[in-house]
Amino acid sequence: MTIDSGFNHITVLLDEAVEALDVRVDGCYLDGTFGRGGHSRLLLSKLGPDGRLLGFDKDPQAIATGQALAAEDGRFVIVQRSFAEMAAVIAEQGLAGKVQGVLMDLGVSSPQLDDPERGFSFMNDGPLDMRMDPTRGVSAAEFIAQAPEEEIARVFKEYGEERFARRMARAVVLRREAEPFLRTGDLAEVLKVANPAWEKGKNPATRAFQGLRIHVNNELGDLEAGLEAALDALEVGGRLVVISFHSLEDRIVKLFMRRLSKGEADNLPRNLPVRFEAFVPKIKVHGKPQFASEAELKANPRSRSAVMRVAEKLR
C-alpha cells in the first residue's frame, strides 16, 4: 500500500480541536480518526517525551501514513480498528480510565472522497465500493445488488435524508434486474434520472450516495459505540472533542452530551425509582458548539459543515 496516493487532506479545526483537548505534556491521548495525521502531529508537538498518542483508523492508506509516523516517533502507536472497538483496544493496552483526551474528527477524509478508486464519488467514476476498510464488510455494490427495495429506500431516506428515496430505490431495483451496478458513475446516472427535484448546485445523487456511505460503514452505529467507549477510556477531568460533518452525526453527539451532562435520570419516567447516582452528571459540556472561522472557510470549503463539541468527564 502506498502512503502518498497524491490526494491530500486539509485538517479541519486543527488548532481549535487540539486546544480543546487541553494537552498535558505527559498525558495519554487517543485520536479516533487518524486520517492523514493532521491533528495527531499537532498533538504530538505538544507532548513531552513521556506523553503517548494512540491512533485509530479503518482505512489502509491512513494506517500506512500512521505507521510511517510511528516509525519516526516512539510516543505514537496506530491500530487498524474502528473507534467503536476502542474499549477492547484500551483494555488490551491497560489504559481504561487513564486517558486524558479523545478526539474524533468524523466521516471521510478528502483522499477517500477524491480518489475515484475508493468508490465514494458520484462525480468521478470508479468501482462502487465506499468502504473505509475495503477488506471488511459489504461493499456498496454488494449491498445494492442484494438488499430488498425497502431497505435501499430506508438507507437513502434515513441516512441520506433523501425525499424521493422510494422512487430512487425503485429505479435501482428495476435496473439491477437487467444489469448489476458495479461503478459509481452508473449508479449516479440512474439516481439522477429517478430524482424529480434537482437542487441548485447539488448533484441529484448526493443524498442517496451519502446514505449509502453511512450505511456501508455503519457510521452512526460506530459513533454511538465510540462515544460510550471514549467516556470509559477517559480519566476524570479528561476531555472528549468531537467534530461532525452532518446533522445526523451532530445530533447523536449533542444528545449524548446532553444526556450525560444532565444525569441519566433526566430521561427516565418521573415515577421510576432511581439511584441517587443517576442524577449526578457524568460530564460537563464546554462552551458552545464551534464552527470554522471565515479564514478557514475560505481556505477549505469542506470545513463549511464542521461542528465541534467538547465535554469534560466529571466522574
Ligand X SMILES: C[S@@+](CC[C@H](N)C(=O)[O-])C[C@H]1O[C@@H](n2cnc3c(N)ncnc32)[C@H](O)[C@@H]1O
Interface positions with ligand X (CB under 6 A): 9, 11, 33, 35-39, 56-59, 62, 82-84, 105, 107-109, 132, 222
Q: Please say which residue, 221 or 281, places its beta carbon nearer to ligand X.
A: 221
Rounded to a whole number of angstroms, the minimum distance from the CB of residue 245 to ligand X is: 7
Taking the complex as a whole, how short is the minimal distance between the CB of residue 162 and ligand X, in angstroms?
Answer: 22
Q: Cβ 312 to ligand X, closest distance in Å?
A: 21
What is the spatial distance between Cα 81 and Cα 58, in angstroms, rounded to a whole number? 5
**Residue 84 or 191: which CB sits closer to ligand X?**
84
- Residue whose entry in the numeric block shows the C-alpha cell 464552527: 291
In the complex, residue closest to ligand X by CB: 35
**Smallest separation (angstroms) from ligand X to the CB of 129:** 13
Least gap, CB of 30 to ligand X (angstroms): 11
Query: Which of 107/211 has CB closer to ligand X?
Result: 107
Count of CB atoms within 10 A of residue 142's CB? 15
Tell me if 86 sits within 8 A of 233, measured CB to CB.
yes
| Cβ proximity to ligand X, 81 vs 192, nearer residue | 81
CA distances from 212 to 99, 129, 232 (A): 34, 10, 30
Q: Looking at beta carbons only, is 107 or 119 nearer to ligand X?
A: 107
**Residue 36 vs residues 48, 55, 60, 110, 239: alpha-carbon distances, Å:** 22, 11, 11, 10, 22
C-alpha pair distances (Å), 82 with each of 31, 59, 92, 263, 287: 11, 9, 15, 28, 28
Instruction: Please enumerate in sequence order all residues whose Cβ is within 8 A of that of 20, keeping only pairs 6 or more positions apart, or say none.
Output: 239, 241, 286, 290, 308, 310
Partners of 200 in the beta sheet?
Answer: none
We find the least distance from the C-beta atom of residue 209 to ligand X, in angstroms, to be 16
Please say which residue, 169 or 306, places its beta carbon nearer to ligand X.
Answer: 306
Q: Are 82 and 56 in contact (CB under 8 A)?
A: yes
Please tell me the distance from the alpha carbon of residue 97 to that of residue 191, in angstroms, as a whole number: 47
CA distance 214 to 88: 23
Q: In terms of CB distance, is 62 or 169 closer to ligand X?
A: 62
Q: What's the closest the beta carbon of residue 82 comes to ligand X, in angstroms?
A: 4
With respect to ligand X, which residue has the nearer C-beta, 113 or 169?
A: 113
Spell out where the chain has E strands: 28-31, 52-56, 76-79, 99-105, 234-244, 283-285, 307-313
Instruction: Name which of 81 and 183 has its Cβ closer to ligand X.
Output: 81
CB 170 within 8 A of CB 223: no
* 239 contacts 101 by C-beta, under 8 angstroms: yes
CA distance 140 to 142: 5
Min dist CB 310 to ligand X, Å, is 15
> At closest approach, how far in Å is the CB of 163 from ligand X?
27
